[in-house]
Amino acid sequence: MAIATVNPATGETLKTFDALNAGEIEDRLVRAEQAFQIHRTTSFARRTELLLKAADLLEADQDGIARTMTTEMGKPLVQARAEAAKCVKTMRWYARNAEGLLADEHPDPADVGDSGAMRAVVRYRPLGPVLAVMPWNFPLWQVVRFAAPALMAGNTGLLKHASNVPQTALYLEELFRRAGYPEGCFETLLVGSGAVEEILRDPRVAAATLTGSEPAGRSVASIAGDEVKKTVLELGGSDPFVVLPSADLDKAAKVAVTARVQNNGQSCIAAKRFIVHNDVYDAFSERFTERMAALTVGDPMDENTDVGPLSSEQGRSDLEELVDDAVHQGATALCGGRRPPEHRAGWFYEPTVLAGITPTMRIHHEEAFGPVATLYRVADLDEAIELANDTPFGLSSNAWTRDPDEQARLARDIQAGGLYFNGMTASHPGLPFGGAKRSGYGRELSGHGIKEFCNMTTLWYGPEE
Ligand code: NAP
């Protein structure tokens, strides 16, 4: 894939970039390793100062970087600004909390005394340069939620960003440089996915994190496995949104729309499958469809736009194929199901609600990465749980019920990395984030995320006499 900024709202190629050659990649690997030797020994106070400076700079740049993101991948500008603000918040959160999260642990002498230890300490030390292979859909956020904890832990970062967001990728490198990080602490590698294997196999690269599709995750994880290097994988999702009779239906329908179409429907944690109890199916379906059909599709730079274009022509045709396959097999489009006729340029698709989904349809098992919702009718909670789990993915999930017994059942039986009651899934720096099943493994954010790229070292002190 060419490394280029192509505006998805117009299809126009705005800027192209040459991929780094072998010598340029080598220079960056040398710098990343040298920077690690400096950065790993810096105090938490200094790391905090650097990250807070980066957060301040990003806050000042909020509108400019939001426009760059919208231009490169088409998310509504209002949402791009919110993404930048969330990055600032997360940087400050890790700047404030990292030292406490990574504080030495002192096992109780009563538990370890028979090991012969006078005392023992568990210490979290950084691993080294970490390769981050990142997607375009939250081009700032996905990187920051890796970089903020990784840098606070004393690691250095090598970013291989998606090929369609090169300007955002270069902005990130520049941001950390301007904040005062030693050269090489955070570097952007403008390379295609074909260059990842050699970089990952390089002995100077300690570990890798990948956010993206399942095939990309499988490839990176198998190379890393071959090299015995740690990985964290944040892959796709097809999150269920379960609505049960005690739900506040107006609120559920309103939140369901946001949960489905935020980021133009291209979010891993978007609710994609709406599983509704028979008693409230008709009422929910009517409210949800009405709201989906009323969304404003258009120029993502316009602050009144709800849904912008998909990020690429390929992304739109993949989505169209899923919808067409379902409709040919008997699904009904309650709204949408086509390209909006008023937008001939760019890669727009109408917000769509599909009912009558059956397991033979591809969309039943595959991730719909765009503003397309599938609606299911179920007879009871058992059927809702069975259907919610009938997916290869297990990223997050949503359930609308005010019944504590139902909540307890769902909390026990839903197979996913998250379950959000009476609300929609949203990541937060203080909460662990990650998936089960084919949605990946490992966690980002919170204290769990910062420890993923640490060497948990046991220090054992024997008697000194
Ligand atoms: P993608 O094609 O997998 O691309 C993601 C990144 O991986 C890009 O940098 C891409 O580089 C690179 N890549 C692709 N194939 C590779 C390979 N074989 N080896 C090494 N690197 C490779 O994903 P996408 O379609 O752009 O992103 C959407 C997917 O990401 C969806 O499935 C979504 O659910 C998932 N996602 C998950 C999370 C999460 O937190 N779980 C968050 C956001 C998105 P190029 O651009 O150069 O191809």
Q: Where are the alpha helices (DSSP H) in 41-76?
A: 44-60, 62-73
Ramachandran region, residue 397 (left: φ > 0; alpha: ψ -120 to 50; beta: rest): beta
Backbone torsion region of residue 446, taken as left when φ is above 0, otherwise alpha when ψ lies between -120 and 50, otherwise beta = left
Q: What is the pLDDT of residue 410?
A: 98
* Backbone angles phi and psi of 198, in degrees to 5: -65, -40
**Ligand 1 atom closest to Cα of residue 311:** 26
CA of 116 to the centre of ligand 1 (A): 48
406: left (phi over 0), alpha (psi -120 to 50) or beta: alpha
Does any ligand 1 atom lie closer than 6 A to the CB of residue 129? Answer: no
Whether 237 is in the pocket of ligand 1, judged by its Cβ within 6 Å, is yes
The pTM of the full predicted model, rounded to 2 decimals, is 0.97
Name the residue among 421, 386, 418, 388 with its Cα closest to residue 402. Answer: 421
Atom of ligand 1 nearest to the CA of 135: 5
Torsion of CA 377, 379, 383, 388, to 10 degrees: 30
Q: Which of 137, 213, 316, 365 to mutate to test the pocket of ligand 1 (most atoms within 8 A of CB)?
A: 213
pLDDT in tens, the chain (465 residues): 799 999 999 999 999 999 999 999 999 999 999 999 999 999 999 999 999 999 999 999 999 999 999 999 999 999 999 999 999 999 999 999 999 999 999 999 888 888 888 899 999 999 999 999 999 999 999 999 999 999 999 999 999 999 999 999 999 999 999 999 999 999 999 999 999 999 999 999 999 999 999 999 999 999 999 999 999 999 999 999 999 999 999 999 999 999 999 999 999 999 999 999 999 999 999 999 999 999 999 999 999 999 999 999 999 999 999 999 999 999 999 999 999 999 889 999 999 999 999 999 999 999 999 999 999 999 999 999 999 999 999 999 999 999 999 999 999 999 999 999 999 999 999 999 999 999 999 999 999 999 999 999 999 999 876
Domains and CATH numbers, the chain: 4-235+439-461 (3.40.605.10), 239-429 (3.40.309.10)
Looking at residue 117, its pLDDT comes to 83
d(CA 179, CA 171): 12
Sequence-distant (6+) residues with CB within 8 A of 190 are 3, 17, 18, 19, 20, 166, 169, 170
Check residue 355 and give left, alpha or beta (phi > 0: left; psi -120 to 50: alpha). beta
Does ligand 1 come within 6 angstroms of the Cβ of 135? yes
Q: What is the pLDDT of residue 165?
A: 98
CB atoms within 10 A of CB 192: 13
Cα–Cα distance between 151 and 111 in angstroms, integer? Answer: 33
Q: How far is the CA of 262 from the centre of ligand 1 (A)?
A: 18
Parallel, antiparallel or unpaired: strands 271-277 and 239-243: parallel
pLDDT at 41: 98
Sign of CA dihedral 287, 288, 291, 293: negative
Distance 320 CA to ligand 1 centre (A): 20
Q: Which of 187, 167, 203, 193 is nearest to 24 (CA)?
A: 187
405 vs 106: CA distance, rounded Å: 39
Going by the DSSP 8-state scheme, the letter that residue 371 receives in this structure is S
pLDDT at position 78, please?
A: 98
**Rounded Cα distance, 14 and 166, in Å:** 11
Give the pLDDT confidence score for residue 325 in this predicted structure: 98
